[in-house]
Each structure stands twice: as structure tokens, then as C-alpha cells.
Amino acid sequence: MASTQVLAGFHAVVARLRHAPDSIKDIYVEANRRDKRMTALIEQAAHAGCKVHPVAADRLEGLARGTRHQGVVALAEPRQLAVDVDEVLDVIEGPALLLILDGVTDPHNLGACLRTADAAGVHAVIAPRDRAVGLNTTVQRVACGAADTVPYLMVTNLARTMRSLKDRGVWLVGTDDQASEPMHAVDARQSMAWVMGAEGEGMRRLTRETCDQLVHIPMLGSVESLNVSVASAVCLYESVRQRGTGQAGGRPG
């Protein structure tokens, strides 16, 4: 089943039905569940021509591989929304908005980052292949469908990718607790990428050195830092605020 992606939960399955129903191989639902939400999903699947199989709860548990499934699991072909950064940038109208995650390995954090990225109009999320979690079942569920709308690019060499972004006119802003400037000092109206490090460790040295600007998120209480998904949301919505467009990046669709 190496070429099969497991989607668990209503948000993940409904999003795939909406954006790429042809990629779905089979949908499995809890046989005893007959509420409105399940009925609506089954009708949507039938309209899209997808096979729906009522099964026992223990079968769903096995298919979901330990992920909360809410009574629905789909097996689908993996989708690739973009091959590389150049493909993303080539179709953007207006200033780019990207999110770079250096060392985020928790699937719940990645899922939350993707969900926020979708809401803020981010064009792509970029992560290093050797220090990041992939689009597994938990990420798909937590992202609530955003994994089907925001390209997630895992790159072999993050610093090299960041330098390529610079060559394309993308300003790289890293978040660092020790930076002297606050995040509000950023001109977020230009093509830019927010660069976030892992909780605890922060950005790696080379990642930090490749940034054009380092800023801190003002912390007025007793805690020293924010969860990476919350920090991403705070920074991305600074871009939304400055651009004043309602959709920061203006991502198509």
C-alpha cells in the first residue's frame, strides 16, 4: 500500500472529495452510523462516483492506523500540488507569501501550520526532507483539508532553497527570541517567507544565517515562547494585516 494515502476523519475526506475526487480509491464508513454528517458525506461520495464500503468499527481502526477517524477513512492516491518552489512562484500574481518550517517533526504542529497557512493565503509551506514530518494521516486530519490546498514542499537542502528564493526576490524573515527587532518591523507587503524553527531548538545556524532579517515576537507574559503553529499564525496574519487584502498571498482558487 506504499502508493496509497490514508485520509482519516470528515475534514480530510470531504476536502479530497471536493478538490480531487478522482484520486480516491475507496471510502470506508462505520456501518452503524446514520447521522446527518455521515449521510451528507455518503451522498457527496456517490455524486463524485466514489465507492463507499460500510464496515465494522474495528476495521476502521485498522485502516486509520491509530489516528482518530470519526467513523470515516478513505484510501487515495497521494497528491502533489507542486513539484518545486519555482513552479509555485511562476504562477503567483502579486507578492508571494511562503512559510518555511525548519525542524518541525510533530504531525499535530504541521497540521495546524498548514491549516493556518491556508487561512492566510500562503502559497506554499517548505520544509527540509531530513528534519520534518511528511503528510501522514495525522497531519491530514489536523490540517482539516488544508493539505489538499497548500503545497507542502520537502526539499533536500533547505539553505540552498532559501538562496534560490532570494534570487527570485523573496525576502526571508526568521523568527528568533534574541533578535532586536520586533515582528512588526517587517515590511510584509513584499514577496516574503516567514522562517520558523522547531520548538526548543529554534532554527539551525545555517538557516538563521541565510535569512535576510531576524525578528522576535513580543512576549509580554511569563512564558518564553509560543508553540510553532501559534507563532506561525501570529506572523502570517501580520502579513494579512499589512497587505489589507483579506487574502494575504492571493493564492489562486
24 is in an annotated binding site: no
What is the chain's alpha carbon radius of gyration, rounded to the nearest angstrom? 19
Q: Which residue in the block uniquely carries the three cell numbers 502533489?
A: 80
DSSP 66: T
The answer on whether 226 is annotated among ligand-binding residues is yes
CA gap 211, 122 in Å, rounded: 19
Pair type for strands 72-76 and 24-30 = antiparallel
Q: Detail the DSSP E strand segments found in the chain.
A: 5-8, 24-30, 52-55, 72-76, 97-102, 124-128, 152-155, 171-175, 181-182, 192-197, 213-216
202 marked as binding residue: no
Query: The C-alpha cell of 209 is what?
Result: 544565517
- DSSP helix/strand/coil, 9: coil
What are the cell numbers at 15?
A: 476536502
Cβ neighbours for 198, distance < 8 A, ≥ 6 positions apart: 102, 103, 104, 105, 131, 228
Does the CA dihedral 50-19-229-201 come out positive or negative?
positive
Question: 58 vs 18, 29, 65, 70, CA distance in Å?
Answer: 27, 11, 11, 12
Which residues participate in the annotated binding site for S-adenosyl-L-methionine?
A: 197, 217, 226
Which residues participate in the annotated binding site?
A: 197, 217, 226
